[in-house]
Amino acid sequence: MATSVREKLSNPIDGLAPERFFVDIPQSDRILFQLFADKMGWLVKSKQNLWDEFVSNSPEDIDLSDEEIMEEVRAVRYGKVQDNH
Question: Taking the alpha carbons of 12, 14, 20, 26 in that order, is the dihedral positive or negative?
Answer: negative
Percent of the chain with pLDDT over 90: 41
Q: Phi/psi of residue 64, each to 5°?
A: -135, 145
The confidence score (pLDDT) of residue 2 equals: 43
Q: Phi/psi of residue 28, each to 5°?
A: -65, -20
> What are the domain boundaries of the chain?
2-44
How does residue 5 score in pLDDT terms, banded at 50, 70 and 90?
Answer: very low
Cα–chain-centroid distance for residue 80?
28
Cα–chain-centroid distance for residue 71?
25
Cα–chain-centroid distance for residue 84?
34
Which amino acid is located at 64 in the chain? L
